[in-house]
Amino acid sequence: MALVVVDFQEKLSPHIEGIDCILKNAVKLIKASKALKIPILVTEQIKLGKTVDAVADVVDGKAIKKTTFSCFKNKEFKKKLEDTNADRVILIGIEAHICILQTAIDLKKAGYKVYVAADCTGSRKSYDKEIAIMRMQSEGIKLTTSESMIYELIESAEHPAFKEILEIVKS
Protein backbone atom coordinates (compact mmCIF):
# COMPACT_ATOMS: atom_id res chain seq x y z
CA MET A 1 0.00 0.00 0.00
CA ALA A 2 1.17 3.53 -0.76
CA LEU A 3 -0.48 6.91 -0.26
CA VAL A 4 -0.16 9.43 -3.09
CA VAL A 5 -0.75 13.08 -2.20
CA VAL A 6 -1.35 15.03 -5.39
CA ASP A 7 -0.80 18.77 -5.90
CA PHE A 8 -2.14 20.38 -2.72
CA GLN A 9 -0.45 23.62 -3.74
CA GLU A 10 -0.62 27.29 -2.76
CA LYS A 11 -1.82 28.75 -6.05
CA LEU A 12 -4.60 26.23 -6.63
CA SER A 13 -5.87 25.22 -3.19
CA PRO A 14 -7.69 28.49 -2.38
CA HIS A 15 -9.90 27.98 -5.46
CA ILE A 16 -11.04 24.44 -4.57
CA GLU A 17 -14.60 24.05 -3.27
CA GLY A 18 -14.55 22.87 0.35
CA ILE A 19 -10.76 23.01 0.63
CA ASP A 20 -10.71 23.41 4.43
CA CYS A 21 -12.61 20.16 4.97
CA ILE A 22 -10.62 18.39 2.25
CA LEU A 23 -7.33 19.39 3.86
CA LYS A 24 -8.51 18.37 7.34
CA ASN A 25 -9.42 14.89 6.05
CA ALA A 26 -6.22 14.63 4.00
CA VAL A 27 -4.06 15.47 7.02
CA LYS A 28 -5.78 12.74 9.06
CA LEU A 29 -5.16 10.17 6.34
CA ILE A 30 -1.53 11.28 5.99
CA LYS A 31 -0.95 11.06 9.76
CA ALA A 32 -2.59 7.63 9.93
CA SER A 33 -0.49 6.43 6.99
CA LYS A 34 2.66 7.61 8.74
CA ALA A 35 1.61 5.84 11.96
CA LEU A 36 1.10 2.65 9.94
CA LYS A 37 4.42 3.13 8.10
CA ILE A 38 2.74 3.33 4.71
CA PRO A 39 4.97 4.98 2.10
CA ILE A 40 3.78 8.45 1.11
CA LEU A 41 4.57 10.13 -2.21
CA VAL A 42 3.81 13.83 -2.67
CA THR A 43 3.63 15.60 -6.02
CA GLU A 44 3.68 19.22 -7.12
CA GLN A 45 2.56 20.43 -10.53
CA ILE A 46 5.08 22.95 -11.79
CA LYS A 47 3.93 26.59 -11.74
CA LEU A 48 1.42 26.12 -8.88
CA GLY A 49 3.72 27.00 -5.99
CA LYS A 50 4.75 24.91 -3.04
CA THR A 51 2.66 22.38 -1.14
CA VAL A 52 0.31 24.09 1.32
CA ASP A 53 1.57 24.24 4.90
CA ALA A 54 -1.20 22.02 6.30
CA VAL A 55 0.10 19.14 4.17
CA ALA A 56 3.80 20.04 4.06
CA ASP A 57 3.90 20.09 7.86
CA VAL A 58 2.84 16.42 8.11
CA VAL A 59 4.66 14.77 5.20
CA ASP A 60 8.32 13.87 5.14
CA GLY A 61 10.58 14.32 2.19
CA LYS A 62 10.62 16.36 -0.95
CA ALA A 63 7.72 16.62 -3.38
CA ILE A 64 8.11 15.13 -6.83
CA LYS A 65 7.88 17.90 -9.43
CA LYS A 66 5.80 17.05 -12.45
CA THR A 67 4.57 18.55 -15.69
CA THR A 68 2.24 15.68 -16.60
CA PHE A 69 -1.29 15.62 -15.23
CA SER A 70 -1.08 11.89 -14.53
CA CYS A 71 1.51 11.28 -11.83
CA PHE A 72 2.15 7.87 -13.38
CA LYS A 73 3.48 9.47 -16.57
CA ASN A 74 6.27 11.12 -14.54
CA LYS A 75 9.40 8.93 -14.56
CA GLU A 76 10.57 9.93 -11.08
CA PHE A 77 7.13 9.26 -9.60
CA LYS A 78 6.82 5.91 -11.35
CA LYS A 79 10.25 4.81 -10.09
CA LYS A 80 9.55 5.90 -6.50
CA LEU A 81 6.19 4.15 -6.53
CA GLU A 82 7.77 0.97 -7.90
CA ASP A 83 10.41 1.20 -5.15
CA THR A 84 7.66 0.96 -2.50
CA ASN A 85 6.63 -2.49 -3.84
CA ALA A 86 3.01 -1.43 -3.30
CA ASP A 87 0.26 -3.18 -5.22
CA ARG A 88 -2.45 -0.86 -3.84
CA VAL A 89 -2.51 2.93 -4.00
CA ILE A 90 -4.63 5.45 -2.13
CA LEU A 91 -5.00 8.73 -4.04
CA ILE A 92 -5.83 12.10 -2.50
CA GLY A 93 -5.41 15.62 -3.84
CA ILE A 94 -6.52 18.11 -6.44
CA GLU A 95 -7.95 18.42 -8.93
CA ALA A 96 -10.28 15.42 -8.96
CA HIS A 97 -11.21 15.74 -12.63
CA ILE A 98 -7.68 16.24 -13.91
CA CYS A 99 -4.68 14.86 -12.02
CA ILE A 100 -6.54 12.48 -9.72
CA LEU A 101 -8.67 11.04 -12.54
CA GLN A 102 -5.79 10.61 -14.98
CA THR A 103 -3.48 9.14 -12.32
CA ALA A 104 -6.16 6.73 -11.10
CA ILE A 105 -6.86 5.45 -14.60
CA ASP A 106 -3.17 5.04 -15.43
CA LEU A 107 -2.45 3.23 -12.15
CA LYS A 108 -5.40 0.89 -12.72
CA LYS A 109 -4.22 0.13 -16.26
CA ALA A 110 -0.76 -0.65 -14.84
CA GLY A 111 -2.26 -3.26 -12.52
CA TYR A 112 -2.54 -1.38 -9.24
CA LYS A 113 -5.63 -1.58 -7.04
CA VAL A 114 -6.58 2.09 -6.77
CA TYR A 115 -8.56 3.73 -3.97
CA VAL A 116 -9.61 7.38 -4.08
CA ALA A 117 -10.55 8.99 -0.78
CA ALA A 118 -13.32 11.22 -2.14
CA ASP A 119 -13.40 13.45 0.94
CA CYS A 120 -9.71 14.22 0.39
CA THR A 121 -10.11 15.32 -3.22
CA GLY A 122 -11.59 18.37 -4.81
CA SER A 123 -12.01 20.53 -7.87
CA ARG A 124 -12.71 24.19 -8.47
CA LYS A 125 -16.28 23.32 -9.45
CA SER A 126 -18.32 20.68 -7.65
CA TYR A 127 -19.77 19.24 -10.86
CA ASP A 128 -16.25 18.55 -12.17
CA LYS A 129 -15.56 16.50 -9.03
CA GLU A 130 -18.93 14.73 -9.29
CA ILE A 131 -18.34 13.72 -12.91
CA ALA A 132 -14.77 12.63 -12.10
CA ILE A 133 -16.06 10.43 -9.26
CA MET A 134 -18.60 8.84 -11.61
CA ARG A 135 -15.94 8.30 -14.26
CA MET A 136 -13.51 6.75 -11.78
CA GLN A 137 -16.22 4.43 -10.54
CA SER A 138 -17.01 3.34 -14.11
CA GLU A 139 -13.29 2.68 -14.65
CA GLY A 140 -13.19 0.31 -11.65
CA ILE A 141 -11.49 2.67 -9.22
CA LYS A 142 -12.51 2.00 -5.62
CA LEU A 143 -14.08 5.03 -3.94
CA THR A 144 -13.83 5.54 -0.21
CA THR A 145 -13.49 8.17 2.50
CA SER A 146 -10.50 8.96 4.68
CA GLU A 147 -12.01 7.49 7.84
CA SER A 148 -13.28 4.38 6.10
CA MET A 149 -9.83 3.82 4.57
CA ILE A 150 -8.05 4.34 7.91
CA TYR A 151 -10.19 1.71 9.62
CA GLU A 152 -9.82 -0.64 6.67
CA LEU A 153 -6.06 -0.35 7.02
CA ILE A 154 -6.01 -1.29 10.72
CA GLU A 155 -8.81 -3.91 10.46
CA SER A 156 -9.28 -4.28 14.23
CA ALA A 157 -9.32 -2.45 17.57
CA GLU A 158 -6.56 -4.88 18.51
CA HIS A 159 -4.15 -3.33 16.00
CA PRO A 160 -1.02 -2.09 17.83
CA ALA A 161 -1.55 1.43 16.44
CA PHE A 162 -5.28 1.58 17.27
CA LYS A 163 -5.00 4.13 20.10
CA GLU A 164 -2.79 6.41 18.00
CA ILE A 165 -5.16 6.06 15.04
CA LEU A 166 -8.15 6.82 17.25
CA GLU A 167 -6.54 10.07 18.39
CA ILE A 168 -5.83 11.03 14.78
CA VAL A 169 -9.41 10.32 13.69
CA LYS A 170 -10.85 12.28 16.64
CA SER A 171 -8.67 15.35 15.96
Determine contact, residues 65/46, Cβ cutoff 8 Å: yes
Beta-strand ranges (E) seen in the chain are 2-6, 40-45, 64-66, 88-94, 113-122, 142-144
Residue 62 maps to which CATH number?
Answer: 3.40.50.850
How confident is the model over 81-105, as pLDDT tens digits? 999 999 999 999 999 999 999 999 9
Structural domain total, the chain = 1
pLDDT band at 117 (very low <50, low <70, confident <90, very high): very high
Query: CB–CB of 63/90 below 8 Å?
Result: no
> pTM of the prediction?
0.96
Q: Which residue segment(s) compose the domain that 7 sits in?
A: 2-170
